[in-house]
Structures are given as structure tokens and as C-alpha cells.
Structure 1
Amino acid sequence: MDIQVEDVRIRAILSTYRKRIPMTEGYVEVKDGGKWKQICNTEWSPLNARVICGMFGFPGERKYNARVYKMFARRRKPSYWDYAVNCTGNEAHLSSCKLGQVSPLKSNVTCGGGLPVVVSCVPGRDFAPTPTPMTGFRKAFRQEQPLVRLRGGAIVGEGRVEVLKNGEWGTICDDHWSLMSATVVCRELGLGTAKEALSGGRLGQ
């Protein structure tokens, strides 16, 4: 079954998150026929949350207060998407995950006793919400010497991968370089899931 995903977003539900940039917590919503719909959480897994956070540039996910969202869902009736999501955790986008008909879902009326899917993502250190006074821990975290970096890219999050070894920066060979390898580097740098794994020295030897 070929299911087209028009668009995906994280929509802030709690007022504390509505004014935050970047948007890190809220309902996962999929645009379907021009309308935003929620995903039923009865078949949702942490691997799906990893993909959602990654596609928005967040390196990881964290726990959230489920009780508050339960109360909110009771007050406002959600409109559910017809499909369940099954990701391996390595996909760059929700549309690359296995999507199938939710069962038993009858014309968007029920979610089998479930609730709308919520994700809470951890922003990378360069994209953490501001302004918060920097604690000693965060200062130490910021001053840590990175072991991997990107060089030669035109935009943030793009570049030739360089690794620090014995006090010197060097490149790595692109044999067996894949989207999964690139994602490991991107998440380490706080950039979420890799969109593309370039090879052939396109960003300099």
C-alpha cells in the first residue's frame, strides 16, 4: 500500500512550549487531505519517536508528563490519522517508515482506547532554547573538546567529516559510508538524523 505523507509537524499543546524556539514537545501531527490529524498511540514505539525527533534535527528524545496530555485529550476530541507507524529508528523521515492501516479504527472515531502520540525531543547543544543561565555543568559540557567536526559545508549541519586523533584532525575514508553512518555523526553533533550521506570527496578531500 503506497501511503503519501503530505507533511508532518510537532504541535505544542502545553502553553509552556508554545512560545519556545525550537519546538521540542507536543502532538505529532500528519497532514492528510489538507487537514492536520493526530496519530493514535496504541501501536507507537520509542523507535518511532526517535525518527520524529531526528527528522526535526533533534539528537534524542526524553520522557514527558503523560498525565497532562491525557487530561488535554479528554477535553478536546482528537481527529486521528488512519494509519499506524512502524519505524526501525534509522529512517530519515516518517514517510520512509512502514505505514499500515490502524486496526480497529472506524472512520476516525476511535483510537482503541489510546491517545494522540506525543514526543518530547532534546535539542542539540547549538540549538537549545535560550535564554537560560548557563550552569557549571553546561559550561563544562560546552567546553568539552569535540572528537568529530564538519568542515567545508555551505550551511550548518553539512560538511566533510573530520575526526580528532592523537591531537590532529583527519578525514575518514568513505568506503561503506551510508546514511546510517552519517546519522551517527549528525546525532553526535546534536543535529538529528542525516538527510544525505555524501561521498566522493564532494566537500573537499
Structure 2
Amino acid sequence: MMTSFSLSLSLCMLGEHFWGLVGGSRCSGRLEILHDQTWMSVCDAAFDQQDAEVVCRELDCGAPVEVLGAAAFDKGDAQMWTQEIQCRGNESQIHLCPTSPSHKNNSSHYNDVGLVCNIRVRLVDGNNPCAGRVEALHRGQWGTVCGDGWDMTEAAVVCRELDCGEPVDALGGAHFGPGSGPIWSHFKLCNGSESTLKNCMSAEVVFYDCDHTKDAGVICSGNLAQTSSYFY
């Protein structure tokens, strides 16, 4: 099961208010807006695909993969945002989107909206978003990475892709617990300078005896749960 984090990982401006994604990664989480020094959740009925397009674009996280309702990233614990965001989808920043009073007056934190942008790699079950079991999205499926041959060269690429600083350790043996699903075994051709892990996939490398007891993990020097990025 993925570990959730309660602090905002990326902060931006919405008009006079800051907004952020909470409880996921840099490119996924529950949407919250800071108003009068109080973080507020956004109702899933007041947020749609066009709004998500702008959020993911502003965070440099690609296109939105999913807009999730029903508190998919856990429930917030403050008030509900009372404005409806009305992006067209082509804005470069969400503060350029108009807002209007929301007519969805019966929303509760069970309706908190979250979103997932087009992330391709994530660290799971660590004690912060910059440490954990490596999971990669390939052929439309999330899978773990075989730890055979996994070293600091590949770890450097993962840390760079996640804006997590420098690699501290490259771990095998399911150090962060075994994952599930497919095991990708073709991320072994990194030279360490690539910007993303997918750029290392130039050939298939098959380890026939690889199983989830060998899942790869990474510890990076950064801690995104404590370092926020601001956009104006």
C-alpha cells in the first residue's frame, strides 16, 4: 500500500491564494487552497478535466491522468473551498482561470478532489516522498523494478526525475517491502545523465529469477515533504 504524506509538496498561486497538492507526490495529491491562513479542500463537483489540465501544466507534470473524487488522497481536515474553478484548459497558470461562487453547498470532505498527472516513476512506502521502492509506469501498468544490477547510476536518474536531489543509496532485496504486479527489468542501461528513467529503456534485459523479494529501492538526499516549490 502506498504511504500518504500530509504536507503540501508544491505550492502555486490562485488569484490571491496559494494552492497545493497534498498527500501524494509532486505530481499527484489532494487539491487544497490556502485562504485566510486556512487550508481548504476543493469539492470534486467543482473541479473538472479542464482545471486538471492547467494544474498539471503549471507543475510541469505533463497531462492529467485522472481526476479523482471521493477523497482518494484521504480527507482534508479544514473547511471546504466555496468557489468553483472554471478553466478552459489552455491557461498556462491556474490563477488565470476565472472563479465563481459554487452552488455545491452540500459537499463534505468525503468529496475532496484529487488528481494524478502524468508521472512515470514514483517512490513508495518510504518515510518521505524521496525514499522508497521504485515503481515505474510502462505499457500502461505500474510495476516494480528488478534490483539485480540496480546501482547508484540508476538511482541518480530517479532522484533527478523526482526533483529529490542526489542519490544517497541504491537498495535491492525489497528494502522497502515487496511490491506487486509486473517487474520491469529493462532499466539497466542508464549512464547517470538521463533526465528521466524512461530514457534508459533502450533494450530489454531479462532476469528470469527476479521476483518481488528483489524489488529495487532508492534513498535520495531531498525531502519534498519539507521543501515546497513556489510559482508566481
**If the length of structure 2 is used for normalisation, what is the TM-score?**
0.44
**If the length of structure 1 is used for normalisation, what is the TM-score?**
0.49
- Identify the structure with the greater helix proportion: 1
Larger radius of gyration: 1
Larger relative contact order (CA 8 Å, sep ≥ 6): 1
